[in-house]
Amino acid sequence: MNAHRSSLPVRLALIGLIALAAASAPASSVNVGPADPMTIDQPRVAVRLTDPATGAELGPEYANSFLLDTGAQGIIAAGYAVLEMTDYGYRTEGRFYELGVGGMIAFDLSAEYNFEFAGTDGTPYMISRARILSDPELNLGGFGGIVGTPAMVGRVTTLDLPNLLGAGGVFDFDYIGVDFADALPAGGLHRYSAPVALVPFDPPSENNGPLMPTYGPIPVVATRVACGPNASGGMFILDTGAQLSMISTAVALELGLDTDGDGDVWNEAIAFTEISGVSGTVMVPIVAIEKLVLPTEQGVDIVWTDLELVVHDLVDPEDPGAPNIPGIFGSDLLTTGWIRAVFETRDGGAFNRIHLDFRSDDQARLVLDVNSDYAFFTHTASLPGDANEDGSVDLDDFVTLKQRFGTAPAAWFDGDFNADGAVDLDDFAILKQNFGATAAP
């Protein structure tokens, strides 16, 4: 899990209030069941640095597979990748401090280089005259480094999960496919989108030098969690670099999980685990959560049930000036069902493709192409054909169906009464059969 974090501006708290104000759940939902215990894979890109003055390539040549991390503001080279680049003339010009799960850590700050990166198809993209962070002692497991949001803003990044199945044979496996594009690819019948706010982080106050790394904003998405009658939520950081999703201690307390009243959930934890970031490793509790909900623009909730989430505070909850970060929406949610798909069923998980549409700061979206063979679609309205849910099936509902006829993907409020993802003759038949009906008082 990447923990390339800095302090959020206060306006993030205002965005969170907007999310909580719209917390009433719509009647339609896509139920994807429990998240996997951890993500099966995380997106990656191939990278290369070049000197803008000479055109010389600095590598890395072998450790060139970097984690594509929406939870990271910048670009970090680690371990052997740094040693390779140093052999080819890589230079640093300063130091820069970052705050991670293990505390503050100092990185080397590079000279200006052209930073090239490519997804699965090998098409190169470039950030000109970038300054990256590096640490030759940092170990990121199988990754040579981290590529954050500077590579994703201004374009659509697609994560192709069926690519995990490789060529399709029983023993074929591959990585998550990564593609970059200027437009959102066409989708299927069950495509849902959630608004994303791209929020700039302020660098830690320990940095007072003139040089700054290449930085991008951090995406946050409205998320709700519930346990029994208790609910909480807010704007969770959308973090492909997090193998496990998490909630803050404050959210855990709002959910009523502190049954002994001691102010934390260590005694109530169902398990404990270590989470690692660029600044170290910490032990954290895991708690059972009944439900996690991602509201969408289509009036449909994406719902995970029976989850196990980490409880950890990314900022000091005792600091009155610290921003409210209620949780992390991690890769384990995005790759739900794919552990079983890869190792057992060889069919698919909850989502076929995930699109990070960061083309515009004010219209960013998390777009999910739902696998209809995996997810369970429900609508709790009591009256079939009542598109506007006013308690009667009438001309208003017919007008809605007529105007939206042929729409796909579609939701109940468009006239999709049988939840097959499209407004068609089957939905007209449902409305016709129930025309004139009214809901029981």
> In angstroms, rounded to a whole number, what is the distance separating the alpha carbons of residues 312 and 282?
9
> In angstroms, rounded to a whole number, what is the distance separating the alpha carbons of residues 419 and 427?
9
> In angstroms, rounded to a whole number, what is the distance separating the alpha carbons of residues 339 and 33?
14
pLDDT value of position 18? 36
Helix or strand holding residue 254 (H, E): helix 249-254
Pairing of strands 75-78, 133-135: parallel
> In angstroms, rounded to a whole number, what is the distance separating the alpha carbons of residues 234 and 324?
9
80, β-bridge pairs: none
For 5, which DSSP code? B
pLDDT value of position 410? 79
Asked if 358 contacts 335 with a C-beta cutoff of 8 angstroms, the reply is no
State the burial class of residue 79 (Cβ atoms within 10 Å of its Cβ: 0-12, 13-18, 19+).
buried
pLDDT value of position 135? 96
Phi, psi of 174, deg, nearest 5: -150, 180
Torsion, Cα of 301, 305, 311, 315 (10° steps): -10
Closest CA to 116 of 83, 75, 82, 163: 75
Whether CATH 1.10.1330.10 fits 383-434: yes
Closest CA to 319 of 5, 63, 7: 7
pLDDT value of position 203? 79
pTM for the predicted model, two decimal places: 0.85
Domain ranges of the chain: 1-380, 383-434
Per-residue pLDDT of the chain (441 residues; tens, 9 = 90+): 343 333 333 333 333 433 433 344 456 788 999 999 999 999 999 999 999 999 999 999 999 999 999 999 999 999 999 999 999 999 999 999 887 666 778 999 999 999 999 999 999 999 999 999 999 999 998 999 999 999 999 999 999 999 999 876 666 789 999 999 999 999 877 899 999 999 998 777 777 778 999 999 999 999 999 999 999 999 999 999 999 999 999 999 999 999 999 999 999 999 999 988 776 788 999 999 999 999 999 888 999 999 999 999 987 666 666 667 899 999 999 999 999 999 988 889 999 999 999 999 889 999 999 998 887 777 776 689 998 878 899 999 999 999 999 988 777 888 988 878 889 999 999 999 999 999 876
Neighbours of 382 (CB within 10 A): 11
pLDDT value of position 145? 97
Phi, psi of 40, deg, nearest 5: -75, -25
Please confirm whether the linkage preceding 409 is cis (ω < 30° from 0). yes
Asked if 307 contacts 294 with a C-beta cutoff of 8 angstroms, the reply is no
Phi, psi of 126, deg, nearest 5: -140, 140
Asked if 75 contacts 55 with a C-beta cutoff of 8 angstroms, the reply is no
